Structure 1
Amino acid sequence: MHTEQLVARAVAPVLEIIDDIKPDRLDAPTPCAEFDVRRLIRHLLFWGPSLEAAARKELVTPAGAEAETDLDDWQARLTAQLERTASAWSAPDAWTGVTRLGSPQEMPAGVIGGMTVGEMLVHGWDLATGVGRRVEWDDDVLAFVHHDLLGSAEMGREMGLFGPEVPVPADAPLLDRILGLTGRKA
């Protein structure tokens, strides 16, 4: 599979649940200890433009505070943002060279692309779980994220992005192993 397809394939299952999220579920907890459904939606809306811009080698610095992100018409806005992010990362040159994510510091574009795929999958699962939905990704996306996390999860824990690793049997489904690496229980 070409990397250009990864973000779109990670986003597709998330798009399927957005319109089903009812207002009474916005305060529901998610497996991500920092976020209830409402805060997770704000997080995705807040960082979405930066993830999208990174694919185009542009710098968008998030303005304001994540907690202040407006939730008016959030379903249409989140759908549009996820689609734009997937489209931006589908360009072949998105994954080459260097780019930035919300700061002037340059990083390899492939690293930020991998982070974007992981963000979509893990927070997509958090969102689905928070509203009582089941979500599935294809094996290629799962394999990519798992491989990426094997090399970066420890750094993510050091940065406070992930909780302590949750032990998962080596023969557990790939999604369960991904979630364990990020400190989540399937």
Structure 2
Amino acid sequence: MSREQLIDKAVATAAEVVADVKPDQLGAPTPCTEYDVRRLVNHLLFWAPSLSAAGRKRTVPPPAAAESDVDLTAGNWAAELDALLRDRAEAWREPSAWEGTTTLGGPHEMPAEVVGAMVLGETVVHTWDLAKATGQVVSWDDGVLEFLHADLVRSAQMGRDLGVYGPEVPVPADAPLIDRIVGLTGREP
């Protein structure tokens, strides 16, 4: 599978999980200890425009509201998040998205392939968080998980150093790939 297909495949899975989140599950805890489902959805809605813009080599103005201020009671947040996820897939589907440099909205440019891997990780891991929190069974394309695992083996320590990931959770080498991925990000599979 080409890297241009990775986020597209991950988004297809994410969209299925988002569609099955029930309103009474918004207060449920997630494996990401900072968030319950509501706060995780807020996080996803808040950062989605920047993740898509990075694939297009653009920046978006910072949102007027803080991440925690996204109002899930107004409108259909699931449809909005679905549209934002699909826009992410479209942005990263182009080969040029993975070439050169880009930014996640800040002043620092990074290699686009590094940012693309980060966007893939954000999509897969937070989809896993939502699925676990809402009792959904989810599976991903093997190519997506293989790419992400190889990337995290190289980059997870940097994520821990930046405070993005918690301490690694040891997972057996023969555990399912998604378990090894979330273990690298500090989650208990």
Q: What TM-score do you get using the length of structure 2 for normalisation?
A: 0.96
Which residue in the other structure is 1:119 paired with? Answer: 122
1:105 has 2:108 as partner? yes
Which residue in the other structure is 1:28 paired with? Answer: 28
Q: Distance in 2 between matches of 1:29 and 1:62?
A: 27
Q: Distance in 2 between matches of 1:85 and 1:113?
A: 10
Q: Deviations over 1:51-104 (max 9, x none)?
A: 000000001143231001232210110000000001110011000000110202
RMSD across aligned positions (CA): 0.9
Which residue in the other structure is 1:134 paired with? Answer: 137
Q: Is the 8 A contact 1:59 1:104 kept in 2?
A: no
Q: Distance in 1 between matches of 2:135 and 2:82?
A: 19
Which residue in the other structure is 1:76 paired with? Answer: 79
SS of the equivalent of 2:102 reads: strand
Q: Distance in 1 between matches of 2:4 and 2:61?
A: 24
1:5 has 2:5 as partner? yes
Q: Distance in 2 between matches of 1:8 and 1:136?
A: 14
Q: What TM-score do you get using the length of structure 1 for normalisation?
A: 0.97
Q: How far apart are 1:24 and its partner, in Å?
A: 0.6
Q: Is the 8 A contact 1:45 1:78 kept in 2?
A: yes
Q: Is the 8 A contact 2:17 2:127 kept in 1?
A: no
Which residue in the other structure is 2:66 paired with? Answer: 65
Q: Is the 8 A contact 1:8 1:90 kept in 2?
A: yes
Which residue in the other structure is 1:161 paired with? Answer: 164
SS of the equivalent of 2:137 reads: coil
Q: Alignment identity in percent?
A: 59
Q: Distance in 1 between matches of 2:50 and 2:92?
A: 12
Structure 1: stretches of 5+ with no match in the other structure: none
Q: How far apart are 1:178 and its partner, in Å?
A: 0.5
Misfit runs of 4+, over 6 Å: none
Q: Distance in 1 between matches of 2:184 and 2:62?
A: 27
Structure 2: stretches of 5+ with no match in the other structure: none
